[in-house]
Amino acid sequence: MSETEKIVLNLQQEMKRGTLVLAVLTQTDEAQYGYSLIQALTDMGMPIEQNTLYPLMRRLEKQGLLDSIWQVKENRPRRYYKISELGRNVRAVLIEEWQTLEETMSKLIGGVK
Amino acid sequence: MINDYLYTIGKYISPAQRDEVLREIESNLFDFLEQNFGQKEYTESEIEKAIRSMGHPKKVAEAYMESPRCLIGPAYIDTYWLVMKIALIGIAIGLTITNILTISDAKDGIQIFVQVIASVWNASLSAIGSITLIFALIQHFSPGEQETITKDWSLESIEKAPETHQKVSILELIIESIFICLFLILINQAAPTLAIAFPENNIIPILDMTLFKPFLIWINITMISNLTLNLYLLIKRRWQSFTRVIAIVIDIISVGIFTKLIMTPGLWDFKTLDYILKDDGVALETVLDLSLNLTLAVVVIIVAIDIFGHLRAMMKTKSK
């Protein structure tokens, strides 16, 4: 991998990191377990690594944005996450913020030759 | 293999979180296997794929840990190393001198050398253990977490730059601390062997240890207080009013102890000198007595100048 490719990859990961929280909050209206959420995000065009998503979900739960519950299905315990009331309120604010950011970036990028 | 993987991850996770995190990771691993290979008995290579999809055990553990695990955190590590260096230098020098002074059975230089190395090694290990334990306890009970910096941070969080009269001389403090460590080792280990040697194997001890012993605890307390003050100043990098008051009190107590030491009759045992040297002994005893009084006078003057310096600095601070 060339130096430029490394730099680009690093910056791409940083850009994605900023959007992950909102992405997770948009996909947890229905209860999801870790791997199902990875599948859902990948299907929507946002592939994500397991050891990025799982700790993130724990963090969001600690912040009160997600609720979790252990459920046993087919003899296997799984931890299911669902967006909380606080999570919904925060999501609404983040969506507005995102839309403003989108407009701003479009203007900035539009000015680039 | 999954058990081994979970065990390895568990080593890097704090006991409080371990069970829950490992349960979740195991669940995620089996989710991966089920989604990719169906519900069945999995082969080694399939399990390996699942493990590799999670990542290196250390990276996985780091991602789950809220903060890095450490015995001594960033808030204290610099002070820890500084204290360690001061203690080890003091011990090395102090014990070297003590061992040389107390050598009586050594047959040759190699024996002296081995004895010095062994005692310095032992004392250093004890010091390292004690200092590390103290700092680990400080870290545990007062982690020194960084304050959360918000957009509306207060200007009061800006530390005032020390004025000229408040600045401490770091080099002076370090040298003084090393000498204090040295002195403590000497006074506690070599005091009984302070003596004057004469021809024909006449060794005359200078101090009457029976009379000196009661002073030892007070000397130790004063020196350790001085050392603690120096370490505090090394951390804070400035004089404050209360530290100057403490320094003055330590100075006064030190002079008091030293005066009592000099003035205690019989503490400085020169009687044997008369017996061995006859008339010359009386003359030498007079000179030694005079030297002690002169030393006392010099110490009092030096301490008085030091106290005056502290008082003047405190007046300057007050006037501002």
Instruction: Please name which of B115, B110, B7 lies closest in space to residue B61, comparing C-alpha atoms.
Output: B7
Instruction: Please name which of B83, B78, B67 lies closest in space to residue B146, comparing C-alpha atoms.
Output: B67
Q: Is residue B40 included in any domain, yes or no? A: yes
Instruction: Please name which of A105, A31, A28 lies closest in space to residue A70, comparing C-alpha atoms.
Output: A31
- Give the integer Cα–Cα distance in Å for A56 and A17: 10
Task: State the DSSP code for B1.
Answer: -
Query: What residues of B are in the A interface, CB distance below 8 Å?
Result: 23-25, 27-28, 30-32, 35, 39, 53-55, 59-60, 63-64, 66
Query: What number of other Cβ atoms are within 10 A of residue B178's Cβ?
Result: 21
Number of domains in chain B: 1
Q: Is the pTM of this model over 0.95?
A: no
Per-domain residue ranges of chain A = 3-110
Q: Is residue B229 included in any domain, yes or no? A: no
- Give the integer Cα–Cα distance in Å for B317 and B319: 6
Each residue of B257-315: pLDDT tens digit?
A: 988 888 877 666 666 656 666 666 667 777 777 887 888 888 889 999 999 999 998 88
> pLDDT-derived band of residue B196, with 50, 70 and 90 as boundaries?
low
Residue A12 CA to chain centroid, in angstroms?
Answer: 15
B30 CB neighbours in chain A (<8 A) are 76
Pick the CATH number of A3-110 from 3.90.180.10, 1.10.10.10, 3.40.50.300, 3.40.1160.10: 1.10.10.10
pLDDT value, residue A48: 85
Residues 39-68 of A with CB under 8 A from B: 39, 49-52, 54-55, 58-59
- Beta-carbon contacts of residue B29 (< 8 Å; ≥ 6 apart): B2, B5, B50, B51, B54
Say yes or no for a CB contact (<8 Å) between A35 and B28.
yes
Compute the Cα dihedral for B221, B227, B233, B236 and give only its sign: negative
Helix (H) or strand (E) holding B56: none
Q: Is residue B28 included in any domain, yes or no? A: yes
- Which of B2, B17, B28, B60 has the most A C-beta neighbours within 10 Å, making it the best mutation to test the interface with A? B28
> pLDDT-derived band of residue B256, with 50, 70 and 90 as boundaries?
very high
The percent of residues above 70 in pLDDT, for chain B, comes to 78
Helices (DSSP H) in B152-194: which residue ranges? 170-189
Closest by Cβ to A50, choosing from B30, B39, B53: B53
- Give the integer Cα–Cα distance in Å for B62 and A54: 12
The highest-confidence range among A80-89, B85-94, B265-274, by mean pLDDT, is: A80-89
Give strand pairing partners of A70: A79
Each residue of B9-50: pLDDT tens digit?
A: 888 888 888 888 888 888 888 888 888 888 888 888 888 888
Question: Which chain B residue has the Cα nearest residue A39?
Answer: B35
Could you list the residue range(s) of the whole structural domain that residue B28 is in? 2-64
The token pair that represents A18 in the structure block = 């900023």
Q: Is residue B265 included in any domain, yes or no? A: no
Say yes or no for a CB contact (<8 Å) between B55 and A49.
yes
Q: Is residue B34 included in any domain, yes or no? A: yes
